[in-house]
């Protein structure tokens, strides 16, 4: 079995692969299909953007395609960067610049007020059957720390502290992160339903 995950993000790809490959399912990503064009994520919600990616690439590849749209919502910033998490510091996705902007925006906000949530929406789409899309979600609450910790993960992980674990997401292995994360929870919800849908 092979699943196509419509992502350019190597960090996301690693997390999907850890779950699916432990069940003997191979994961392909957009890097395996370099001929496919980028799509513009013009939606205003995670679900809209995940649908755009899943439906577009399912049509192009004539295969079922899974897409992930995710982001960080910081309460003290009114929910920013939200759907703009990849492009927070401007076009051309750059994790270091995004993290620098996050620190600048939080400025003097006290540690106790730096609550935040990571969100993932997954959409699994079949070619030309948009009304049959599978949609699942996951959320992870945490705190934004002022000093980065850890070298694993990607994106905002070194700044996202999970009190229950006493670690940032970047201090966890891929399996530890998947066990609790927004993406891990969404994948767990998907695991319950996708096989029956896939074979229909």
Binding residues: 7-12, 69-70, 154-157, 177, 182-183
> Min. distance of Cβ 134 from ligand ITT in angstroms?
17
Query: Is 32 a residue of the active site?
Result: no
Residue count of the chain, please give it: 200
In the DSSP assignment, the letter for residue 43 is: -
**Looking at 64, 138, 142, 153, which residue binds ligand ITT (CB under 6 A)?**
153
Crossing angle for the helix pair 10-21 and 182-191, nearest 10 degrees?
40
Q: State the distance between the two ends of the chain, measured CA to CA, in whole angstroms.
A: 15
Choosing from 135, 145, 148, 154, the residue that interacts with ligand ITT (CB under 6 A) is 154
Stretch that binds ligand ITT, among 8-16, 17-25, 108-116, 185-193 (CB under 6 A): 8-16
**Pairing label, strands 65-74, 2-5:** parallel
Neighbouring C-alpha atoms within 13 Å toward the C-beta of 198:
16
Q: Residue 11 CB, nearest distance to ligand ITT (Å)?
A: 7
Member of 64, 82, 142, 155 binding ligand ITT (CB under 6 A)? 155
User: Of residues 102, 157, 187, 194, which one binds ligand ITT by CB under 6 A?
Assistant: 157
CB of 161 to ligand ITT, least distance (A): 12
DSSP 158: G
Which residue from 33, 41, 59, 141 is in contact with ligand ITT, where contact means CB under 6 A?
A: 41
Q: What is the C-alpha to C-alpha distance for residues 28 and 93, in angstroms, rounded to an integer?
A: 21
| Three-state DSSP state, 16 | helix
Distance, CA of 70 to CA of 68 (rounded, Å): 6
Distance CA 159, CA 1 (A): 36
CB of 155 to ligand ITT, least distance (A): 2
Measured in whole angstroms, how far is the alpha carbon of residue 190 from the centre of its chain?
14
**Is the sign of the CA dihedral 96, 102, 105, 110 positive or negative?**
negative
Q: Which of 55, 68, 69, 133 is catalytic?
A: 69
Residues that contact ligand ITT, how many (by CB under 6 A): 24
> Is residue 12 part of the contact set for ligand ITT (CB under 6 A)?
yes
* Residue nearest to ligand ITT according to CB distances in the complex: 155
Site track 59-98 with ligand ITT (rule: CB under 6 A), x = hit? ---------xxxxx------------xx------x-x--x
Positions marked active-site = 69
């Amino acid at each position: 079995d092979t699943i196509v995950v419509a992502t350019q993000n190597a960090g996301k790809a690693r997390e999907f692969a850890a779950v699916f490959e432990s069940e003997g399912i191979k994961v392909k990503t957009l890097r395996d299909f370099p001929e496919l064009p980028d799509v513009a994520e013009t939606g205003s919600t995670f679900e809209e953007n995940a649908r755009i990616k899943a439906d577009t690439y399912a049509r192009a590849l004539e295969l079922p395609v899974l897409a992930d749209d995710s982001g960080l919502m910081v309460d003290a910033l009114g929910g920013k960067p939200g759907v703009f998490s990849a492009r927070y510091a401007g076009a051309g996705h750059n994790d270091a610049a995004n993290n620098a902007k996050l620190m600048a925006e939080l400025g003097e906000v006290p540690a106790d007020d730096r609550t935040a949530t990571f969100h993932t929406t997954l959409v699994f789409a079949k070619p030309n059957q948009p009304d049959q899309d599978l949609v699942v979600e996951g959320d992870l609450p945490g705190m934004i720390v002022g000093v980065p910790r850890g070298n694993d993960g990607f994106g905002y992980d070194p700044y996202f502290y999970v009190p229950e674990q006493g670690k940032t997401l970047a201090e966890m292995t891929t399996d530890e992160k998947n066990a609790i994360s927004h993406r891990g929870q969404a994948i767990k919800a998907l695991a319950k339903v996708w096989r029956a849908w896939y074979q229909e």
